[in-house]
Copies of this chain bind each other. A is one copy, B any other.
């Protein structure tokens, strides 16, 4: 997953002495992890779904088109680890497990929403640009 050890910064990839503010551009910036988490499409999808209400494991599986059981399980686990989602086990005969978004998770969901809006608003422009680009007569 994106949360996995992704630190590929030997700190020698750059000339010594070259330094820029410890910004998002530094490989070890924690903010980068959040970006990675957002990059995880399954995570975002799950978050959006859970923002609408508590859902059970297999129900999520049914709702999210194309997700494998492995990825669902894995993603839920890291979401839980990040405190974005909470897990509740109901010890019925065949066990049932509910997933609910946490307050923290909801704040992230709110921050992600502008992106969804953007996508819906500008997707046409993007596709038009792509068409234009693909049709370009190979400008030197």
Contacts and interface: CB of A to CB of B under 8 A. Distances in A.
A45 interface: yes
B125 A13 contact: no
A79 to B, nearest CB: 10
A65 B13 contact: yes
A118 B63 CA distance: 27
Contacts of A64: 25
Taking the full assembly, how many copies of this chain does it contain?
2
Given A44-B35, A80-B133, A123 B24 contact: no
Contact of A133 (B26, B81, B130): B81
A31 B112 contact: no
Contacts of A36: 39, 41
A53 interface: no
Contacts of A8: 66
Given A34-B119, A62-B18, A120-B31, A104 B83 contact: no
